[in-house]
């Protein structure tokens, strides 16, 4: 049994397939496993709490994990050790989430492209057909992550409190979420995964996307992301497309294509959930 895992900070999807790529079980979902944020004990607890995973742990022969927070060695190795302690019979590979986006969005394995993630967090890399290149090291949701779920959540809350929202949008926002100051501060400063908490507000944008305020908010984030991240690969953009993965990118395709014209880069594929595209990649040579 092969487990292919796609994890953000908010949620983690586990897909069990055989060597031919046939899905063996319904997709399993757990809380996100970001080793840059969560401690070893918490990671272990999240996995062990899943009855479905505990039932199949001894049957797993290969586990390919792609995750947020796995781009640097220390958290990546820590998570690999946690996984190995649970899936004792499995060959374990832990890779940063950007490679999931690369392998899921490319038209063929050796295609060169700029690949972006816009989910709970955001990132951008250049894949030359063989290797991944990142010109900006991510400093996480506090300092970076433009056009991500947590970026838009933060912007929405700020606009609400600074009275920058149109009144009808402000009323709808207050009806949908608990916006009490103490509740927000508790989730931001005393609970784990404040980035995932902020990202829960981003769904609101796509419920009120016909509003000019929301459209401009979405485009503001994409402009910042394009300027700070995509244009790091200005030379490569002359000849390669820009692919996108993640829910924010998927639902903001029109705005991304509009901003792409402003910044003169060509958009490619949009993949909401990279995990489906990873199945064929990992089973073709088994």
pTM of the full predicted structure? 0.82
Identify the domain containing residue 27 by its residue range: 2-101+274-283
Is 248 in contact with 256 (CB distance < 8 Å)?
no
Q: What's residue 188's pLDDT? A: 96
Q: What's residue 8's pLDDT? A: 82
As for how many domains the chain has, the answer is 1
Q: How far apart are CA 263 and CA 225, in angstroms?
A: 11
Q: What's residue 56's pLDDT? A: 97
Q: How far apart are CA 159 and CA 199, in angstroms?
A: 15
Q: What's residue 218's pLDDT? A: 98
Q: What's residue 83's pLDDT? A: 98
Residue 218 lies in a domain: no
Residue 174 lies in a domain: no
Q: What's residue 176's pLDDT? A: 97
Q: What's residue 285's pLDDT? A: 63
- Nearest CA among 207, 222, 213, 208 for reference residue 254: 222
Residue 251: left if φ>0, alpha if ψ -120 to 50, beta else—which one?
alpha
Q: What's residue 71's pLDDT? A: 83
Q: What's residue 203's pLDDT? A: 95
Residue 261 lies in a domain: no
SS (H, E, C) 158-174: HHHHCCCCCHHHHHHHH
Whichever domain contains 15, its CATH number is: 3.30.420.40
Q: What's residue 164's pLDDT? A: 97
Is 75 in contact with 197 (CB distance < 8 Å)?
no
Residue 142 lies in a domain: no
Residue 225 lies in a domain: no
Q: How far apart are CA 124 and CA 238, in angstroms?
A: 16
- Residue 211 is given by DSSP the state S
Residue 86 lies in a domain: yes
Centre a 10 Å sphere on the Cβ of residue 73 and count the other Cβ atoms it contains.
8
Residue 176 lies in a domain: no
Q: What's residue 286's pLDDT? A: 59
The share of the chain scoring above pLDDT 90, in percent, equals: 80
Q: What's residue 150's pLDDT? A: 95
Q: Which residues in the chain come in under a pLDDT of 70? A: 285-286
**How far apart are the two ends of the chain, measured CA to CA in Å?**
11
Residue 137 lies in a domain: no
Q: What's residue 52's pLDDT? A: 96
- Residue 139 has φ and ψ, to the nearest 5°, of -105, 15
Using alpha carbons, list the distances in angstroms from residue 128 to 37, 113, 216, 228, 253: 30, 7, 33, 20, 24
């Amino acid at each position: 049994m092969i487990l292919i895992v796609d994890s953000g900070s908010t949620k983690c999807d586990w897909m069990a397939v055989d060597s031919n790529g046939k899905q063996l079980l319904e997709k399993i979902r757990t809380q996100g496993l970001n080793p840059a944020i969560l401690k070893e004990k918490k990671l272990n607890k999240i996995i062990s709490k899943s009855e479905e995973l505990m039932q199949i742990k001894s049957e797993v022969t290969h586990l390919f994990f792609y995750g947020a927070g796995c781009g640097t060695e220390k958290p990546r190795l820590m998570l690999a050790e946690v996984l190995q302690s649970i899936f004792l019979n499995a060959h374990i590979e832990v890779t940063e989430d950007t490679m999931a986006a690369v392998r899921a969005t490319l038209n063929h394995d050796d295609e060169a492209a700029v690949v972006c993630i816009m989910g709970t967090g955001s990132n951008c890399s250049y894949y030359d057909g063989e290797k991944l290149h990142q010109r900006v090291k991510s400093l996480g949701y506090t300092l970076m992550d433009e056009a991500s779920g947590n970026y838009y959540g933060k912007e929405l809350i700020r606009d609400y409190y600074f009275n920058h929202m149109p009144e009808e949008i402000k009323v709808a926002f207050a009806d949908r979420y608990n916006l009490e100051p103490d509740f927000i501060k508790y989730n931001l400063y005393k609970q784990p995964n404040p980035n995932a908490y902020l990202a829960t507000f981003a769904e609101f944008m796509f419920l009120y996307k016909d509003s000019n305020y929301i459209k401009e908010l979405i485009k503001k984030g994409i402009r910042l992301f394009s300027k700070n991240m995509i244009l790091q690969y200005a030379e490569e953009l002359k000849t390669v497309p820009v692919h996108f993965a993640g829910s924010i990118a998927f639902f903001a395709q029109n705005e991304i294509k509009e901003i792409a014209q402003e910044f003169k880069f060509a958009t490619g594929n949009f993949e909401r959930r990279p995990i489906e595209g990873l199945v064929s990649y990992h089973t073709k040579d088994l």
